[in-house]
Structure formats: C-alpha cells, structure tokens
Amino acid sequence: MNDLTQQDIKYLKGVGPKRAELLAQELDIHSYYDLLYDFPFRYIDRSKIYRIADVAGDSLPSMQFKGRFITFTPHGEGRKRRLHALFSDGTGTIECVWFNRVKSIQESYKTGIEYIIYGQPKPYNGTYSIIHPEVDVYHPETAPKGLVGIYNLTDKLRNRNFTSRTLQKLVASVLQSPAIDALRDPLTPKMLARRNLLPLREAITSIHLPATVELMQRAQFRFKYEELFFLELNIIKNVKGRNAKLPGFVFAHIGDCFNGFYKRGLKFPLTGAQKRVIKEIRADLGSGRQMNRLLQGDVGSGKTIVAFLTMLIAIDNGYQACIMAPTEILATQHYESISEMAAVVGVNVGLLTGSTGKRERDRLHAGLLDGSIQILIGTHALIEDSVQWRNLGLAVIDEQHRFGVAQRARLWRKNTTPPHVLVMTATPIPRTLSMTVYGDLDVSVIDELPPGRKPVTTRLRYEKDRQEVYHFVGTELRHGRQAYIVYPLIEENEKLDLKDLMDGYETICQTFPHYRVVYVHGKMKPKEKNAQMELFASGKAQILVATTVIEVGVNVPNASVMVIENAERFGLSQLHQLRGRVGRGADQSYCILMSKYQISSDTRHRLQVMVDSCDGFKIAEEDMKLRGPGDMEGTQQSGIAFSLNIANLATDGPIVEMARNDAMTVLDADPELQSPQGQVLNQHLNFLFGRKVNWGLIS
Ligand code: ADP
Ligand code: MG
C-alpha cells in the first residue's frame, strides 16, 4: 500500500499531537490516507446568495445572505445568557442568535463590515431567526462558493471548534504537501478507462473540494465503485479458492422417484419460477462440484416442493437427504407434508427432533446407517455427532437466518465428500445485498406466487377502532375461518409483554365465547406449545393468540385473518413474515395492524409500506433504506459485520453489479492475482481486509 497510510496525521500542518489524538479517538483518522478517505456525507450549495425579502415559508433549507450586522443585544444571565444580532441585507432583516461563546462573538463581529452569514432561517415571532449561523467576512475572492462538503463530526469535536471546514482545510493541506506524490491509485488504468472513472488524485480533490456538481458526482461514483470492487474481489477470490478445493457428488440421472412423483404425485402444475429454479439446481448437481445454493422465495412461494424434488434427485442417484428446520413445529409440519408426498413413490422419511424418544432415536440411527431411511427431517438434533449416515448427499436448510454458519459447516462433515447444500430463506433479501453478503452462495429466486393467490388486504387501525376490528374478526370466524392475534415479545420487556399477551388472551376469550382460543409463546415448554399449535392447525381451535413464535413457516391455509397488536414495535421484515401466515389458501385474507396513534413519521412510513405492498422484495428494499443494510436480518447472523464507507447497497445496486462483473473478469484472467497489475490489486486487498474477517472463509 502506498505510504500515506504510514504518514502520521499529527505531523500534518495544523494538526499536532492533541488534535491528532482527537481525530483518532473520534473519527478513527490516524494517517494521511485515513483523512483523504473520510468523505463528506453531503454537500451544500453556497453558490447562491439569497435576499432576505424572499425568505418565506416555514420549512427552509440552509441559506446564505450577504449584509451587515446592525445591532448586538445580549439577553439573560449566567447559563441562560444569549446574544441576539440583527442582520440586514438592504432588502430586510433577520435575527441571529448565539447561546455559546457570547462574549467572544460580540467582540469579534463588527457592525459596518460586510459579512456572509449561512444557516437555516426559522420563523420566530413574526420574523426569521438563524441559530448559530456561520459567519465570514465577505471578500469576493475567498467567500465560500459552490459546493461545500459536510463531514461527520462528533459533539466532542464540535466543542473543540472542529468544523467541516477544519477537515476540508486539513485535506487541502495534505493535497499540497509533498507526501501526496506517494499516492498510488489501486485501480488499474485499464479499469479507469473501461468505466470512465476519475483517477485517484482528481477524485480525492473533487470529493472534498468539488469545483462542480458533475465532478463531485463522478468522484462519488469512483469511490463507490472502488469500495464495492474490492469487496467483491475479496469475496469472489475466496470463493474461487474454496470451490476449487471442494468436489461434489455427481447426481447424473433423473430416475423413478423424481419422474414417478412428477407424473403421479404433483397436485398442481409448478410455476415457471419453480421450474427455472429446479433447472438451476440440476445443473449444480451434475457439475461435479459441491452445490452451495441459496433459494430465496417470498413466503408462500412454494419452496418446499422444490426442496422435495431436489431430494428425490439425490435418492434417484443412491444418496440420502435431510431437511433441517429451525423449530420443532416447522420440522413436524415438513415431516407431515413430505412424508405424504414421499409415500407416493415409496420413499422412507424419518423425523428427528429434541423431543424424539430414545427408542425412536435408536431406530432412526439404525435406519440412517443402513440406508433404509432416505430422508430425515429435523431440527438441530440432526447435526449431532451421533447421527451417522450411510451416504448423505444433500442437505436442505430451511429458513436460513435462524442458523449460524458454524452449524452449516457441521453438516458438511456428515460424509467424506461434503453433501450438496440448499439453503432456503423466506427473508427476501434485495439482490444487491444477497450478491454481497452471500457472495459465496449461488442464488436462485422464486419470484412468482402460485396462481390464484389473492394479495392479503392490509389495514392500519388504532385503539379506537378495536370494536370494529373484533366485529370483523367475528365475521370471518362465522364463515368458518381462523384467526391469529399476534403480540410483540422482546426480552428487555418480557414480563410486561407476556402480561399483554395474557390480558389479550382473556379479552379474546370474553369477546368470542363461542370459539376455542389457544395461546403460545416462546416461554412455554415445547410439548405444551406443540399441543396448542396442533389444536389450531387441525382447526379444533379457531383463534391463536401468539407471540412471534409463529413467524416462521407455520402453514394453516384456513386462517384468513391476522391481527398484529402493537404493530409499531415490529420491523418491516418481521411484519412481512408474520403476514405471510395468512393468504395461504384460496380465500381473501386480511392483516390488521393495530398501532398507537402517536407514532414517529418513520414508523408511520413503515406501516404504510405494509398497507401498500405485499411484495417481499419491495418491502425488503424499503426496510434496507429505513434501517441501513447493516441491520438487515440475515446479515448479522451470517457473521459479517461490515460497514461501507460510501457505497450504499440499497441504492447503488447497478454499481454493485458492475463491480462484481469486473472483479470476476479480473479473477478469471488472473485467479491468484499474480500479474503485475494483479499484484497491485492484491496488495490493496490485503491492506483492506488483511486485518478484518476473511469473508470468503465464513461459510
Ligand atoms: P414457502 O415458500 O413459504 O415455504 P410452501 O412451500 O409452504 O411455501 O408452499 C405454500 C403453499 O403453496 C403450500 O400449501 C403448497 O402446497 C402450495 N404450492 C406450492 N407450489 C404451488 C404451485 N405451483 N401451485 C399451487 N400451489 C402451490
Ligand atoms: Mg417454508
């Protein structure tokens, strides 16, 4: 790496040991390089000077004015001391207010001199005032003009009079120092030319001190590309290394099980998306390399049948298969639906969970070893060491985000050659994110729901509407449908949340005396929980009051209403998962979001997204915009703590794709990055990721 990374910031003109310590502590800036790569997060336009007479409205941006101070008037005493100044530009007056440094401001600003003031005018007592404006003596040459970058600062820095301008001046001083000659562009000239990118030095100048909007945007584009390119390069390089090492079983033929089930067992035609995905999987299974595929599909899109057909291919080739589900309820449901399908072609299925008794466990162990059990369905119990296989060839993992990476790895060791792995998730992850986070997995998407599904009608309701909501639920029940009532439960608030749930249960029992009401929550013993769930699943109970334990996978097609209490406390993707529990049958289904009336605008937006859309991918994109990708479900569990400096996965999808393609092209030509240009890239890669987690090895 170029030695700007070794240049200690404390030797930069205008810094010194004290400020250096502050920069290191507050902004993690240690070297010249760190400073240059600390970009503004937004820009303000200082090219326009407004007339005070033109200021109107009550929600204004920051603006600048040119004029003179007319009066300075201190108010208040002690801690309440403040300074008011009247500022005139000849067209009108505006008030400036300071709460700090009253004395020094009063001493340094003069009446009669021309100043530029900058800040956000707020309506106040029939006029406008600006709190803590930026003030500069007006010189036609040095007045700030054009775009000015705004940097992230901390309170501590602000208290020490560190402003965006301070940082800008420091950057300018690096750019003027002889050290800058050591700056080397990590991107090759070929790449710059191909993507029409600004060279590094120009880009640094234009991102900190842009001459025009266009240059600023080109600089941003370059740094986004650079960041994403190295991210992808790192992922793909590691994946290539791993794939090269891992051969896989070849499932060459399609036999009686698959064909027999396809002809006699399928109760519905597959959707186009299901067929396409099965083709993608078949190509993997025949390739001679281990499959690591992520199957994404919105709730209800029909992933189970795809998994089942894949398992039949394994069996046709003489191998065994398993499905691992995150909860006992889900494993049991899979067992029920899959053993029914498997019976059509005489395939033997077992169920292994934490509550499987000793005798049944022994029988399963024996059956797996002698190969008489061809499919095993279960919870984590099936990765225990005592579970030995005759010839495990395929492992399906349902609802991926509940499983850690380490658990996936344990599955691999169940055979001398690691089995093929199909990971299914209903957490719709935006494509840009999955390409990056699951860069090591190939991704298939079922982007089509089975025909005849009606989108779930979603409504937002408040406490005052409660009777009307119950009335509606009653109507559905009378038509023979079932209902979920869901309560939030978070650990910090567990006691109160459980009380809410139990109070709710009481109310529901009283409101619907003629129906059977059951409840489940995560604190119940599995046996008890399963018994209650079973009552609901079989239709013996009509209302299920529950916490989010029902979020994943539960399939009761007759349930047509879901009421979500305190919906404002749920995240978007969680709401979407929950809502996916209804709308699984042919009837119109409903989701009612109950919320407090007083909620923040972000929360209102979130709930409105749910009302407006049933598309899991759209919702995931919105979620990512609201929360930032670091918080997305699935990214944390994947063990990747990553933060991007400038690129934004939610909005920079096209750049991600471009960077990914380019990284692949580079690695196809030079897999070990050994060419002279490859070495430059590799050095930078080591500089960037050498200290951090090695993403590619994570799964
Ligand atoms: P998920 O993707 O959420 O796991 P499931 O596999 O549980 O979805 O499927 C949801 C429901 O849709 C099941 O009842 C299943 O039988 C049904 N289904 C799946 N594929 C089709 C299809 N092509 N046509 C009609 N119904 C389908
Ligand atoms: Mg499922």
* Cβ of 301 below 6 Å from ligand 1: yes
Q: Measure CA 696 to chain center.
A: 19
Q: Do the beta carbons of residue 273 and residue 447 sit within 8 Å?
A: yes
Q: Do the beta carbons of residue 696 and residue 241 sit within 8 Å?
A: yes
Q: 268, 335, 552, 556: which to mutate for ligand 1, most atoms within 8 A of CB?
A: 268
* Cβ of 450 below 6 Å from ligand 1: yes
Q: What is the CA radius of gyration of the chain?
A: 31
> In 109-252, which residue ranges form alpha helices assigned H by DSSP?
155-159, 164-176, 189-195, 200-208, 213-245
Reply yes or no on whether the pLDDT at 94 is more than 90.
yes
Give the residue, by CA position, lying nearest to ligand 1 atom 19. Answer: 302
Given the structure tokens 């409205």, which residue do they identify? 57
Q: Which atom of ligand 1 is nearest to the CA of 299?
A: 3
Among candidates 96, 123, 132, which has minimal Cα distance to 111?
96
pLDDT at 305: 96
- Strand segments, DSSP code E, in 426-479 are 442-446, 457-462
Judged by average pLDDT, the poorest of 51-60, 137-146, 249-258 is 137-146
Q: Which atom of ligand 1 is nearest to the CA of 398?
A: 4
d(CA 182, CA 189): 17
pLDDT at 125: 80
Ligand number with the minimum distance to the CA of 309: 1
| pLDDT band, residue 640 (cuts 50/70/90) | very low
| Token representation of residue 326 | 């995150």
Q: 268, 276, 295, 304: which to mutate for ligand 1, most atoms within 8 A of CB?
A: 304
* Cβ of 374 below 6 Å from ligand 1: no
Looking at per-residue pLDDT, the higher value among 238 and 428 belongs to: 238
Distance 8 CA to ligand 1 centre (A): 60
Identity of the amino acid at 73: T
pLDDT at 37: 95
Distance 251 CA to ligand 1 centre (A): 25
| pLDDT band, residue 699 (cuts 50/70/90) | very low
* Cβ of 426 below 6 Å from ligand 1: yes
Share of the chain above pLDDT 90, in %: 51
Reply yes or no on whether the pLDDT at 327 is more than 90.
no
Give the residue, by CA position, lying nearest to ligand 1 atom 24. Answer: 450
Distance 68 CA to ligand 1 centre (A): 72
The string of pLDDT tens digits covering residues 534-570 is 899 899 999 999 987 665 557 788 999 999 999 999 8
Rounded average pLDDT over 76-86: 87
Classify residue 123 as exposed, middle or buried by CB count within 10 Å of its CB (0-12, 13-18, 19+).
middle
Q: What are phi and psi of 349, to 5 degrees?
A: -120, 140
Q: Which atom of ligand 1 is nearest to the CA of 555?
A: 7
Q: Do the beta carbons of residue 294 and residue 421 sit within 8 Å?
A: no
Instruction: Report helix, strand or coil for 410.
Output: helix
Ligand number with the minimum distance to the CA of 398: 2
pLDDT at 244: 61
Ligand number with the minimum distance to the CA of 446: 1
pLDDT at 402: 54
Distance 266 CA to ligand 1 centre (A): 11
In the chain, the largest separation of any two C-alpha atoms, in whole Å, equals: 98
- What mean pLDDT value characterizes the chain? 87
Distance 303 CA to ligand 1 centre (A): 7
Share of the chain above pLDDT 70, in %: 89
Q: Which atom of ligand 1 is nearest to the CA of 297?
A: 2
Q: 275, 301, 377: which to mutate for ligand 1, most atoms within 8 A of CB?
A: 301
pLDDT at 404: 55
Rounded average pLDDT over 221-248: 82
* Cβ of 268 below 6 Å from ligand 1: yes
| pLDDT band, residue 10 (cuts 50/70/90) | very high
d(CA 576, CA 608): 12
Looking at per-residue pLDDT, the higher value among 80 and 111 belongs to: 111
Distance 631 CA to ligand 2 centre (A): 23
The string of pLDDT tens digits covering residues 49-79 is 899 999 988 778 888 999 999 999 998 887 7
Helix and strand totals (H; E) in the chain? 23, 22
pLDDT at 187: 95
Reply yes or no on whether the pLDDT at 39 is more than 90.
yes
Judged by average pLDDT, the poorest of 177-191, 433-447, 464-478, 542-556 is 433-447
pLDDT at 429: 67
For residue 247, the 8-state DSSP code is B
Distance 390 CA to ligand 2 centre (A): 27
Q: Do the beta carbons of residue 87 and residue 70 sit within 8 Å?
A: yes
| Token representation of residue 292 | 């690591």
* Cβ of 105 below 6 Å from ligand 1: no
Judged by average pLDDT, the poorest of 251-260, 417-426, 436-445 is 436-445
Reply yes or no on whether the pLDDT at 682 is more than 70.
yes
| b/e burial code for range 611-627 (CB count within 10 A of at least 16 → b) | eeebbbbebbbbbbbbb
Distance 83 CA to ligand 1 centre (A): 68
Given the structure tokens 């790496």, which residue do they identify? 1
* Cβ of 371 below 6 Å from ligand 1: no
Reply yes or no on whether the pLDDT at 666 is more than 60.
yes
> In 580-652, which residue ranges form alpha helices assigned H by DSSP?
601-612, 616-627
* Cβ of 302 below 6 Å from ligand 1: yes
pLDDT at 290: 87
- For the chain, how many residues are written? 699
| Token representation of residue 541 | 């109970």
Among candidates 438, 459, 359, which has minimal Cα distance to 639?
438
Reply yes or no on whether the pLDDT at 637 is more than 50.
no
Q: Which atom of ligand 1 is nearest to the CA of 304?
A: 6
SS3 content of the chain, % helix, strand, coil (to 5): 45, 20, 35
d(CA 596, CA 290): 50
Reply yes or no on whether the pLDDT at 1 is more than 60.
no
d(CA 194, CA 174): 29
Q: Which atom of ligand 1 is nearest to the CA of 303?
A: 2
pLDDT at 237: 83
Q: Do the beta carbons of residue 345 and residue 257 sit within 8 Å?
A: yes
User: C-alpha distances in angstroms, 355 versus 4, 331, 352, 365, 518?
Assistant: 60, 12, 8, 15, 22
| pLDDT band, residue 262 (cuts 50/70/90) | very high
* Cβ of 330 below 6 Å from ligand 1: no
Distance 549 CA to ligand 2 centre (A): 14
HEC letters along 50-65? CCHHHCCCCCCCCEEE
Among candidates 676, 675, 680, 658, which has minimal Cα distance to 196?
658
The string of pLDDT tens digits covering residues 95-126 is 999 987 788 788 889 998 999 898 889 988 88
HEC letters along 285-351? HCCCECCEEEEEECCCCCHHHHHHHHHHHHHHCCCEEEEECCCHHHHHHHHHHHHHHHHHCCCCEEE
Q: Do the beta carbons of residue 87 and residue 65 sit within 8 Å?
A: yes
Given the structure tokens 């196809």, which residue do they identify? 668
Give the residue, by CA position, lying nearest to ligand 1 atom 9. Answer: 302
* Cβ of 257 below 6 Å from ligand 1: no
Ligand number with the minimum distance to the CA of 298: 1
Distance 300 CA to ligand 1 centre (A): 5
